[in-house]
Structures are given as C-alpha cells and as structure tokens.
Amino acid sequence: STQGKDGWFGHPKQLARLFTTEMWERFGYYGMRALLTLYLAQHFLFDDTTTASIYGGFTALVYLTPLIGGLIADRYLGSKRSVKFGAILMALGYFTLCFGGEAAKPYATIDGQRYEVTVEGKGEAQRQFVTDDGQKLQIKGNDDKTVSLLGADGTEVRKVDAGNFKASGERSSFYTMLLLIGLSMVTIGNGFFKPNISTMVGSLYDQGDQRRDAGFTIFYMGINLGSLLSQLACPFLADAYGWWAGFGLAAIGMLASWALIQFDGGRLDGYGERPADATSSRDWLIYGGALLAVPVVWFLFSNLMGYVKPEAGSGILGYIATLPIMGKLLFGTFLIGVPAILFWSYLKGSKVEFQMMIAAMVLIIFNVVFWTLFEQAGSSLTLFADRNTDLSVFGWFSISAGQTQFFNAFFIVALAPVFSILWNAMAKRGIEPGIPIKFGIGLMGVGFGFLFLVWGSQFAGDDFKVGLWWLAGLYLIHSIAELCISPVGLSMITKLSIARIVGMMMGVWFLSISVAQYVAGVVAQVASVETVGGQVTNLKVSLNTYVDVFTTIGWISVGIGVLLMLIAYPLKRLMHGVK
Ligand code: GLN
C-alpha cells in the first residue's frame, strides 16, 4: 500500500489530487449558488416566496441525495466511479442553467385587472411604473397593507389594498422547466459526488493515523478556495455578459473537476475502487436509473415544494399541516428515524454505546438549528445584499450582491489554519473545549452574526441601505461559528456512533443538514418582501422585514446555544471520553 507516504505537505500525495478535484467542484457549486437566488428573482421574476421555495427545495435535495449516493458507491460503483459520474451530471446541470431564455416580462394585477409594468433605471434610481389610461403611474409599496400609485408630480392617484395587488412575471414555461431540470441534475450529481470524494480523503489514512484531521482541514481549505474564486468570478461574468456567462463558468469549473479525476494519471489507482464483491454488470443500470431520477426530482420540485408561508396565527400544528409533501417527508423521516435508530442502539448496543449514540443524536438535532441560520447566505442574505446593502467598497468600486457570498469562504481560508493551531495549543494545555461546548459556541455565533447586522441596520442611511462592512462582519462571525461546528461534526459522528451503523449515521448527519436547508427556505419565505419586476417596491419596508426576521432567528439561536452550553456537562458524560 502507498498509504502513509509523505508526498504533499507531509500528507499522502493523493490528497493533492482530491484537493484540486473538490476545489473545482465547489467552484462550480458556489459559483452557481452566488447567482441562483438572484436569477430566480430577477430573471424569472418569481416573487420572493416562490424564489425561497425553489431555493430551499433545491438545497434540501442537494443534501439529501448523498444518503443514496454513498450507499450506491459502497455497494456497487466504488467512490471514484461515483465521483466521475456525479461530476458529469453536475456539469450538465450548470450548463442547462445557462439557457434561461428572455427575461420574464413584469406585470401587475390591480383589482383584478392586468397592467404591464416598465422598470426604469438601475439600483437607487430604479422605479416601477404601470400605464393606466395613457397615464404613467409609479408603484410605491407603503407597508404590508397598501400600495400607492403616484402621478408624475409624486401625488397619490390611487391606493390599492395589498391583497388586491399582485405582481409577477410572464415567463416561458419551457425555460422554467429547463431551469428545474438543470437543478434536478445538480442534486443527483451532488449525491454521487460529495459524500464519496470525502470518503476517498478518509481512505488515504490508516486507522489511527494522526494526520487524518489535518488532512480534512486541508481539504476544507480546498473547498473554500474554490468557492471564493467562483463567488467573485461568476457574478462578475453574469453582470458583464449575462446570466449564461456566470453559469457557464460554473459548468467549466465542474468539467475541470471531472477532468482532474478522470485523467488522474494513475495517481488514484487503488483508491475508491469498486468493492471486491461487486461487478461492473450493474453500472449502466445505475447510470440509467440516475438519469431517470432527473424527471422524478423535477416533479418533486414543481409539484411538492409549494408555498409554506404560514398564515398569521395558524400555530405550529396548523403550520405543519400546511407543509408541502416534501417537507412532511423530510421532517417525518427525521422525526421517526432518530428515535428508531436510538431504540435499535438500546436493544443491540452496550450501555456505553447507547449513551454515546444519544449524545450524537442530540448534537445532530442542534446541528439543524445552525445550518438553518447559516444557509440564509444563499437566499435572504443575498437578497438583503441586493436591496438593503450599500455595496461600495471604500467608495472605490462596488461589488455585486452575489459576490458578498465570498466573504464566508474568504474567512474560512484565512481562519481555518488559525483555528487548527488554536485547538492544538489548547489541547496541549488540556483546555480544548469539548464538542458540545464548540457546538454551543457555533450556535451562539451564528445568532450573534445576525444580531450584529441588526445592530448595524440602525445606522442605515436615508436610502435604507446598511454599510457593506456590517454584512462582512456577519460573515466573519458566521465563519468562526462554522469552524466550531462543521469540521468537528463529521469526525464526531465517526467517533460516537456504533461502528456497524457509522455509514447510516453519516447519512443522518446529512439528513439533518437537508432538513435545515428546508427550514432555511421557510425562514427565507417569512422574510419575503413585495417586489415588482424583481425589485422591491419599498426599501424601508424591506429593511424592516429583514431586521424583524434576523432579530428573531438571531435570538432564538443564541438561546438554543445557551441551552446547549447548560447541558454540555451531562452530554460530555454521555460521550465517555470522546473528544
Ligand atoms: N461549505 C462546506 C461545503 O460546501 C460545508 C457545507 C455544509 O456542510 N453545509 O462543503
């Protein structure tokens, strides 16, 4: 075996190839993510609720498919073939997103009558107008309750109940279908790719190799290096040449990832191969099945995601009742699966094993809260950046809303080594915080990040825009929180779960992130604001809406973080020395 050979920063030389493969894959994914919400809201002109619904459903599926992709690799394909196949599907998906057709045409329905909308100007100066009896009227949202139509001199010509005012876009159903098919391909491709590239990294190290955690830290740097590059480049290209150019670059990155592992020059021979007892006879069945799953996932998207914006006062039960089928399936699997696995552990495991499993499950449940807040980055926070953030950098130049997503990846690359050194130094002195405390810090951190932005929003100018540095500050705090949870969580699972079911527990970990993505979509829906032609009708109302939602989720997460801190000691006892 070539294991243990020092070839690259004191790590097996194969890590270098897995690093670049994953770097380019994440380049594609996060480049696409930097564009997606704005693409939905400003090209397809979906209202905010629908945008959040599509985005939430998509990302929930992105984190659900690894469950199946991991299983298929373990049984039939082996990790490497799965990664190659997933890479091709994802590249096809991003490529499909390049075809969006003409931008949707905005219109408004006022008291049942349909009016064409024209949008003039960009950014600050942009206004929306309807033409009524040859008169051009400017649309102005007042609050949640009414919309005013203003004449040329700014006086109100007409006031409409918000309930009787609906804005939307006339979009091509063909290109909408193509969009959802492209996204479906990405979710399935990711299922084949993401869990298995990580498994391959793990396979580079023998059991008990001290370098394993450091290896994953390096790998995590590759993830974020790819992300930060594309989060700058893809929105730039989308601005300069059109959406297609941004998604096109994501597709090219993904192809680079595929080429790196397809033509590995034998570097990865013997790693991630097909399991010994499996033959190639099933390969084409699996590939064909995955392609057939594309329309199935598309169906899930188009029919089962739906609207979940809660009715006022509907209560938690009424709320669950109104969840679309996909939400019910996700929550159901999670709420039944977790106790079922625990019950199994109680029956089959020793007392110590059972207690360790309880600890793992408790942390997995807290994990849902973290990602629910954290993943606002791709949805509500990007819309906040577009609408209520002053995007100028020291007055020199402006970045685009999608580019603000880059802050997270940047801070991870900058801080991951610092944290690695910090934890080591603390461990040497015997003062490294345990996993529950780190999770608690992460939960409080992700909440405080939002509260920091809420604080900054008090200093918004007359244009209702908050300075960019407040948003950057949120991402700095979120990145520190991420470093307390994300890398820690994966190794925690491998250490706490009963060996026989570690694969399934990994699946439950991903399932918890999937549930979180779904809930994150719901939170983003609650943060919906009224738009016409993809632009908000009242910046003050939108700022207040975001601040309300961010305040609520911020305090909830801080509170849950404190709760976790309080139970950290008993939880630690259940972990029986696992660090
Ligand atoms: N940013 C990391 C990645 O994309 C972690 C994301 C997550 O686990 N939710 O791999």
**Collapsing DSSP states into helix, strand and coil, what is residue 45?**
coil
Q: Which of 548, 547, 523, 534 is nearest to 53 (CA)?
A: 523
User: From CA 112, how far away is CA 135, in angstroms rounded?
Assistant: 19
What's residue 307's pLDDT? 53
Is the predicted pLDDT of residue 1 greater than 60, yes or no? Answer: no
pLDDT bracket for residue 2 (50, 70, 90) = very low
C-alpha distances out from residue 133 to 107, 108, 117, Å: 16, 15, 14
Is the predicted pLDDT of residue 303 greater than 80, yes or no? Answer: no
User: From CA 138, how far away is CA 117, in angstroms rounded?
Assistant: 10
User: H or E segment at 169?
Assistant: strand 165-170
Q: 363 C-alpha to center of ligand 1: Å?
A: 17
Within 6 A (CB) of ligand 1 lie: 26, 223, 371, 486, 513
Predicted model pTM: 0.93
Q: Which of 104, 301, 79, 46 is nearest to 186 (CA)?
A: 301
Two structure tokens written together for 116: 């064409």
Residue 290 neighbours by CB under 8 Å, 6+ apart: 85, 89, 188, 192
What's residue 131's pLDDT? 80
Q: Which atom of ligand 1 is nearest to the CA of 194?
A: 10
**Collapsing DSSP states into helix, strand and coil, what is residue 141?**
strand
User: From CA 506, how far away is CA 273, in angstroms rounded?
Assistant: 20
Closest Cα to atom 6, ligand 1: which residue?
486
Q: 99 C-alpha to center of ligand 1: Å?
A: 27
**Collapsing DSSP states into helix, strand and coil, what is residue 44?**
coil
Strand pairing partners for 113? 110
Q: 136 C-alpha to center of ligand 1: Å?
A: 48
Tell me: the pLDDT tens digits for 86-138? 999 999 999 999 999 999 998 888 888 888 888 887 665 667 888 877 778 88
Q: Which atom of ligand 1 is nearest to the CA of 30?
A: 4
Pocket test for ligand 1, best of 223, 483, 493 (most atoms within 8 A of CB): 223
Closest Cα to atom 3, ligand 1: which residue?
223
Give the side-chain half-sphere CA count within 13 A for 105: 7
Pocket test for ligand 1, best of 257, 364, 486 (most atoms within 8 A of CB): 486
Tell me: the pLDDT tens digits for 418-463? 998 998 899 899 998 999 999 999 999 999 999 999 999 999 989 9
**Collapsing DSSP states into helix, strand and coil, what is residue 322?**
coil
Is the predicted pLDDT of residue 78 greater than 70, yes or no? Answer: yes
Is the predicted pLDDT of residue 316 greater than 80, yes or no? Answer: no
Q: 540 C-alpha to center of ligand 1: Å?
A: 33
Q: At what angle do helices 325-348 and 48-72 cross, to 10 degrees?
A: 40
Q: Which atom of ligand 1 is nearest to the CA of 374?
A: 9
What's residue 129's pLDDT? 84
Q: 570 C-alpha to center of ligand 1: Å?
A: 29
Q: 7 C-alpha to center of ligand 1: Å?
A: 27
Q: Which atom of ligand 1 is nearest to the CA of 63?
A: 9
Q: Which ranges of 173-242 would DSSP assign to H, the alpha helix?
A: 173-203, 212-241
User: From CA 400, how far away is CA 432, in angstroms rounded?
Assistant: 39
Tell me: the pLDDT tens digits for 471-496? 999 999 999 999 999 888 877 888 89
Two structure tokens written together for 110: 């006022």
Q: Which of 479, 470, 426, 429 is nearest to 451 (CA)?
A: 470
Tally the residues of the chain: 579
ipTM, 2 dp: 0.96
**Collapsing DSSP states into helix, strand and coil, what is residue 535?**
strand
Q: 30 C-alpha to center of ligand 1: Å?
A: 10
Burial 14-28 (b: 16+ CB within 10 A, else e): bbbbbbbbbbbbbbb
What's residue 535's pLDDT? 87
Q: 196 C-alpha to center of ligand 1: Å?
A: 14
Strand pairing partners for 133? none
User: From CA 386, how far away is CA 380, in angstroms rounded?
Assistant: 10
Closest Cα to atom 10, ligand 1: which residue?
223
Tell me: the pLDDT tens digits for 225-248? 999 999 999 999 999 999 999 999
Q: 553 C-alpha to center of ligand 1: Å?
A: 21
Closest Cα to atom 2, ligand 1: which residue?
223
Q: Which atom of ligand 1 is nearest to the CA of 371?
A: 9
**Collapsing DSSP states into helix, strand and coil, what is residue 267?**
coil
Q: 316 C-alpha to center of ligand 1: Å?
A: 29
Instruction: Please give the share of the chain, as a percent, with pLDDT higher than 70.
Output: 95
Taken in order 133, 138, 142, 144, the sign of the CA dihedral is positive
Q: At what angle do helices 14-38 and 380-388 cross, to 10 degrees?
A: 60
Q: 377 C-alpha to center of ligand 1: Å?
A: 12
User: H or E segment at 120?
Assistant: strand 113-120
Burial (Cβ within 10 Å: 0-12, 13-18, ≥19) of residue 280: exposed
Note whether 352 and 574 are within 8 A (CB).
no
Tell me: the pLDDT tens digits for 179-227? 999 999 999 999 999 999 988 998 898 877 888 888 888 999 999 999 9
Report how far Cα 372 is from the mean position of its chain's Cα atoms: 9
pLDDT bracket for residue 141 (50, 70, 90) = confident
Residue 168 neighbours by CB under 8 Å, 6+ apart: 45, 47, 106, 107, 108, 109
Tell me: the pLDDT tens digits for 247-262? 999 999 999 999 999 9
